[in-house]
């Protein structure tokens, strides 16, 4: 595969690792983050920091975005100094943010109007998955575009699949977040129960993680809780955003998700207490306050 100029926007907890894995595939890598100092590690490895998404789009043949919220995605693509302001014909855009399926469809439509291509490709796996290049990547868009981007996805993840047309990647990520919400409250309640029953938490987790209760959350986040480590692999603020999108989408489809609604309510308590920057494993703190 010939090397081309690669653009990357969003160098946060996960984005900086994902961009790092793509450096070997890039002729030049151009990076941007609202806080430019967060690009420093990549610049030290040879990336070139630019001052706006528009500049990234002008210099790159393929651009990846990994930002925070739907409004951030909207600004990065449609803003006055956004990617579409002076996009070159033939540029390929890939949004790896978790955002609204409807926004993914809007970006796809606009990209086609200016003779560009677009994929929505949200990911799951947290900071560990990003650092170790074993993310799950859920893609929406055209087959031909997906095949062009697949070598880049393979540098970042282990489970990669085209889910359907534009927006399908985001819908799949919503399903993923619904499952995570359910497992998170289950694991948190189990840890609280074990503590009150005077069990050794580590022994308990190691034992049940080998049976029917086995899940990513037990393996990766329960040990952090037992150490009192609530630093973010994935921030509560972002998870609350995701759950809000999933609940809005489910309502538009005429379905009720009471379990998801309950978990979001518990997380919202933590947000209101100023704990939104903690990792999602901090749900156990909200449960402790109920007892």
pLDDT single digits (tens) 239-252: 999 999 999 999 99
Of the candidates 38, 105, 173, 241, the residue annotated as catalytic is: 173
Q: What is the residue-averaged pLDDT of the chain?
A: 96
Give me the architecture of the 171-290 domain, per CATH: Orthogonal Bundle (1.10)
The token duo for 264 is: 């979001």
Reduced to 3 states, what is the DSSP secondary structure of residue 67? coil
Instruction: Give the pLDDT score at 230.
Output: 97
Residue 236 has pLDDT above 90, yes or no: yes
Instruction: Give the pLDDT score at 241.
Output: 93
Share above pLDDT 70 across residues of the chain, in percent, rounded to a whole number: 100
Residue with tokens 């085209």: 162
**pLDDT tens track for 69-89:** 999 999 999 999 999 999 999
The pTM of the full predicted model, rounded to 2 decimals, is: 0.93
282: left (phi over 0), alpha (psi -120 to 50) or beta: alpha
Q: Whose CA is closest to 145, among 171, 111, 173? A: 111
Residue 173 a catalytic site member: yes
Instruction: Give the pLDDT score at 291.
Output: 80
Residue 1 has pLDDT above 90, yes or no: no
Query: What CATH class is the domain 4-165?
Result: alpha beta
Residue 126 has pLDDT above 90, yes or no: no
Instruction: Give the pLDDT score at 103.
Output: 97
Range(s) for CATH 3.40.50.720 in the chain? 4-165
Would you place residue 233 in the very low, low, confident or very high pLDDT band (cuts 50, 70, 90)?
confident
Residue 35 has pLDDT above 90, yes or no: yes
């Amino acid at each position: 595969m010939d090397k081309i100029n690669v653009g990357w926007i969003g160098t946060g907890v996960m984005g900086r690792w994902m961009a790092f894995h793509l450096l070997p595939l890039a002729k030049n890598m151009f990076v941007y983050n609202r806080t430019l100092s967060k690009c420093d590690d990549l610049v030290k490895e040879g990336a070139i920091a630019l001052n706006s998404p528009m500049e990234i789009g002008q210099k790159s043949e393929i651009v990846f975005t990994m930002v925070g919220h739907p409004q951030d995605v909207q600004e990065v693509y449609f803003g006055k100094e956004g990617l579409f302001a002076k996009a070159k014909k033939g540029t390929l855009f890939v949004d790896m943010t978790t955002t609204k399926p409807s926004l993914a469809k809007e970006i796809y439509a606009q990209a086609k109007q200016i003779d560009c291509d677009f994929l929505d490709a949200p990911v799951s796996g947290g900071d560990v998955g990003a650092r170790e290049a074993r993310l799950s990547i859920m893609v929406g868009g055209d087959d031909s575009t997906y095949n062009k981007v697949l070598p880049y996805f393979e540098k970042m993840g282990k489970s990669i699949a085209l889910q359907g047309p534009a927006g399908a990647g985001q819908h799949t990520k919503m399903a993923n977040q619904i499952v995570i919400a359910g497992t998170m409250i289950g694991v948190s309640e189990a840890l609280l129960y074990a503590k009150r029953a005077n069990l050794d938490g580590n022994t308990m987790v190691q034992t049940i993680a080998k049976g029917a209760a086995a899940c990513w959350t037990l393996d990766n986040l329960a040990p952090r809780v037992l150490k009192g480590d609530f630093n973010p692999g994935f921030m509560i603020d972002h998870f609350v955003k995701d759950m809000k999108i999933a609940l809005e989408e489910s309502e538009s489809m005429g379905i009720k998700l009471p379990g998801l609604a309950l978990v979001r309510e518990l997380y919202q308590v933590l947000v209101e207490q100023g704990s939104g920057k903690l990792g999602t494993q901090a749900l156990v703190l909200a449960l402790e306050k109920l007892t």
